[in-house]
Structure 1
Amino acid sequence: MHKFVLFSGYDVFLGNFRGLVSREHVNKNISSREYWRYSINEHATEDIPAMVEKIHQVKTAELKLSNPEIEEDNNDNQLYKLCAISHSLGGASMLMYIITRRIAEKPHRLSRLILLSPAGFHHDSNVVFSMAEHAIFFLAPILSRIFPAFYIPTRFFRMLVNKLARDLQNLPAVGGLVQTLVGYVLGGDSSNWVGVLGTPHYNMNDMPGVSFYVGLHLAQIKRTRRFRMFDYGSASANMKVYGSPEPLDIGEHYWLIDIPVDLVAGQKDKVIRPSMVKRHYKLMKEVGVDVSFNEFEYAHLDFTFSHHEELLSYVMSRLLLVKTNPKLEVNKRSLRLRKKGQVSATG
């Protein structure tokens, strides 16, 4: 996780889910099968909590250092406001994180959610995704043993992919052909798929990978038409994890969301269509969540890969709706007054 400080006064933390080919892990002897054995569940219940708690430690330490008299209340009243801006799979994971934390009666520490084309519902999709869903279900017993994840396994082949990506950048005609083909396969999504391959995290030493179980989890969600946690395949296995024969249905627990949520859809997004983002909106609205819905004329990757002033302005306008902690402001004012008094007294 990386931290940046903007001139406007916001601290920006960039988190990253597990799933790199380098397999950096505290257990250096972990097997490939064990390393990649995770679904969206682990993103929501392990990865995000680790990020949020680290942010909590950093911000609390910083604020107490600047004003030692500041103390948190016993009821976990935070000294700062934390907003989450998530895209695609990150959006689904963030919703799952809030629901599971609320059920566990643990603080989620968030003040607002801004979700850009969030995953979670996928039944309205093109034929390619439907074919992938059927293939994953049909071949799951075999694929899970042979391919624990979808990634490029060796440095040699990663070098070839990296070389190809660079060539596509330097040969517009070939790059345009590949772009058209990929967009066609994904139902006409016009995102800059070739451009993404040229980003720094696609290199010879390391490239992102997707766990087979994340793919299976998404296939389960698509098939059941419900935003649920991972189905372990049997009533007994689910009972052991959830205390229920069925996986926890996140969509049915939206009433637990206790912070404002801003949902944003892309009108040209063929990966997560606007109808699926509206599904989130409808369920939240029905149970009284403070939720808003907006659309931009974007494809799926435009939310993160492209730089649109209108999107930046929209996101900042939503962030400005979050009020600072009154307790912290009182302590800051008293500290400033005390310093002024010290200056005038010594001057």
Structure 2
Amino acid sequence: MMEYVFVLNYMTVISVCYGASIGGNNVCTNFQAYSNLQYDRKHCHYNPDVDSTPFQIAERYGYKLEDHQVETEDGYILTIFRVRKIGDNLENRQPALLQHGILVDGVSWMISGKDSLAFTLVANGIDLWVPNSRGTQFSSKHVNSSISEKDYWNFSFHELASKDLPAIIQYVSKSTKRKDLIYIGHSMGSTSVLVYSTLHGDHAKEHIKGIICLAPVAYLRSLQGIARLAVPFYPLIKEILEVLGLYALGQFTALQKFILSFTCSKFPLILPCQIINALSTGLAVEQVRPDILPLIMTNFPSGTSTKTLYHYSQIFLSGGNFQWYDYGSAKNEILYNSTKPPDYDIEKISVPVHIFSGKRDFLATHEDVKYLYSRLNCSKEFHVYDLAHNDYAYGKRVNKLYSDILDVMKNKFNTGYS
């Protein structure tokens, strides 16, 4: 153990010394330029967002973050960012929620600079609320537990849907005095709202006027990439992690996060980091931004439970059934009155849904998203783009996508925002 600590400390010293020698440059516009980060002034520059808090990032582009705390029914303390243009009056603005995916948090919607989706929505008249899911760095508190305890991590996306979203939506509705929210969710943020709208149909119908699902993960039938190779080993991985007492992912120390961030933002390791990312989530070459990876790695990973990954793995291994968590035959019989977990009845969703699908997506594959769309009985529309899974937040050419999202909000959901 002492040797491990020594190695980490040694790497940190080397990292700091090396970082101090690069003359301020910390991002480059192509991967090869990272090999000459210190001297390449044509392709490399200093981006202050890399080491900034979300509050500093927002202020840099003329916005202000308010942080609001919400307590869920089961005692988790969540932080919601309210994003506003400095000096703007929020009266009569259309309220919307922008929910992040797995292993990231609300900052993911702000690290693409002034053109980030969060700032784009606010600039176009939206009263934007950006929640941080339980377990992430901004929502890691609980009234009776702590992140160091096993009980804290006893949740999957089911609890994000059944506990977090009702509390968040209720809070935003009360704060804005509006019951016509628009929900935008990416990846697990879409999973959660689909489950929420199934479990709490009346609540959803009362408070939400429209749902936008970006790369929704639900029916995992044609998963691709690294995830497809890893998921069959899920039972073994689960057993090993439980023996080791590991129930959380992404709960790194500041030191460990620094080393990961440093490693994946310097040549040559930035290249395998990008390759791993592409093999995990998909690749649309024209969307790749070499200058964004250091910002992503500064904030990645943000915490979640291993149970969340088990839940997704279970769905794939079941043949792609979008179903409740599988506790094993005996406990399932007690909880569900069946040896197998029930499917989520998304046919019950009554709120209008617009689904955005990427043809290069390895996680929410185009085939799986089309199948999800076919199962919905509500008012719905389908939008297709040449995108990989994370391009919705980090893509290079997403102006058309963001314009289309705004068009749906204004013309399909009749927001009438200014």
TM-score where L is the length of structure 1: 0.75
Q: Give the residue type in structure 2 aligned to 1:3.
A: R
Aligned to 2:408: 318
Q: 2:352 maps to which residue? A: 260
Distance (whole Å) between structure 2 residues aligned to residue 50 and residue 310 of structure 1: 33
Structure having the larger proportion of residues in helix: 1
* Kept in 2: contact 1:149–1:209 (CA 8 A): yes
- Which structure 2 residues correspond to residues 65-104 of structure 1 after superposition, within 5 A? 79-102=178-201
Where do 1:17-166 residues align within 5 Å?
17-20=133-136, 23-27=140-144, 29=146, 31-60=148-177, 79-102=178-201, 105-108=202-205, 109-126=207-224, 128-146=226-244, 147-151=246-250, 153-166=252-265
Residue 298 of structure 1 pairs with residue 387 of structure 2: yes
In structure 2, distance between residues paired with 1:116 and 1:201: 22
Deviations 1:232-265 (CA, angstroms, capped at 9, x unpaired): 222x423443454432311xx2221112111111
Q: How far did 1:148 drift? A: 0.8
CA contact (8 A) 1:40 1:230 kept: no
Q: Distance in 2 between matches of 1:53 and 1:80?
A: 9
SS state of the match for residue 3, structure 1? strand
Q: Give the whole-Å Cα distance in 1 for the aligned partners of 2:243 and 2:294.
A: 31
Q: Distance in 2 between matches of 1:218 and 1:130?
A: 11
8 Å Cα contact 2:363-2:389 kept in structure 1 = yes
314, 317, 325: which one aligns with 1:223: 317
Look up the match of 1:233.
328
**Aligned residue among 296, 301, 304 for 1:210:** 304
C-alpha distance in 1 between matches for 2:226 and 2:233? 10
Equivalent residue number for residue 331 of structure 1: none
The higher-RCO structure (CA 8 Å, 6+ apart) is: 1
* Residue identity matched to 2:414: K
Counterpart CA distance in 2 for 1:192 and 1:145 is 39
1:26–1:197: structure 2 CA closer, same or farther, 3 Å change rule? farther
Separation of aligned partners in 2, 1:10 and 1:226: 36
> Residues 2, 21 of structure 1: CA spacing in aligned structure 2 closer, same or farther, 3 A cutoff?
closer
1:238–1:271 CA distance, 2 compared to 1 (3 A): same
- Alpha-carbon deviations, 1:280-324, whole Å to 9, x = none? 11112xxx3211111111111111122611111111111112236
In structure 2, what residue type is equivalent to 1:178?
C
Structure 2: gaps of 5 or more residues: 1-79, 85-121
Amino acid at match of 1:227: F
Evaluate the alpha carbon distance shift between residue 192 and residue 150 of structure 1 in structure 2; reply closer, same or farther with a 3 A threshold: farther
Q: Is the CA contact (8 Å cut-off) linking 1:266 and 1:298 kept in structure 2? A: yes
The answer to whether 1:270 aligns with 2:362 is yes
Aligned to 1:199: 295
Shift of 1:7: 5.1
Give the Cα–Cα distance (whole angstroms) in 2 for the partners of residues 161 and 55 of structure 1.
35
What amino acid sits opposite 2:366 in the alignment? Answer: P
| Structure-2 separation of matches of 1:116 and 1:7 | 20
**Residues 202 and 208 in structure 1, CA contact (< 8 A), matched pair in contact too:** no
- How many pairs are equivalent? 293
Q: Which has the larger radius of gyration?
A: 1
Distance 2:289 2:229 in 1: 21
Cα distance between partner residues in 2 of 1:160 and 1:266: 32
Structure 1 counterpart SS, 2:298: coil
Residues 178 and 324 of structure 1: is their aligned pair in 2 closer, same or farther, counting only changes over 3 Å?
A: closer
CA distance in 2, matches of 1:30, 1:301: 27
Answering whether residue 130 of structure 2 is matched by residue 14 of structure 1, we say: yes
SS at match of 1:38: coil
Contact 1:254–1:289 (Cα < 8 Å) also in 2: no
Tell me by how many angstroms 1:28 deviates: 5.4
Q: Distance in 1 between matches of 2:160 and 2:402?
A: 26
Match of 2:371 in 1: 279
Q: Which runs of 5+ in 1 are unaligned?
A: 61-78, 326-347
CA spacing shift, 1:185–1:92, aligned 2, 3 Å: closer
- Shift in alpha-carbon separation, 1:27–1:293, aligned structure 2, 3 A: same
Counterpart amino acid of residue 226 in structure 2: V
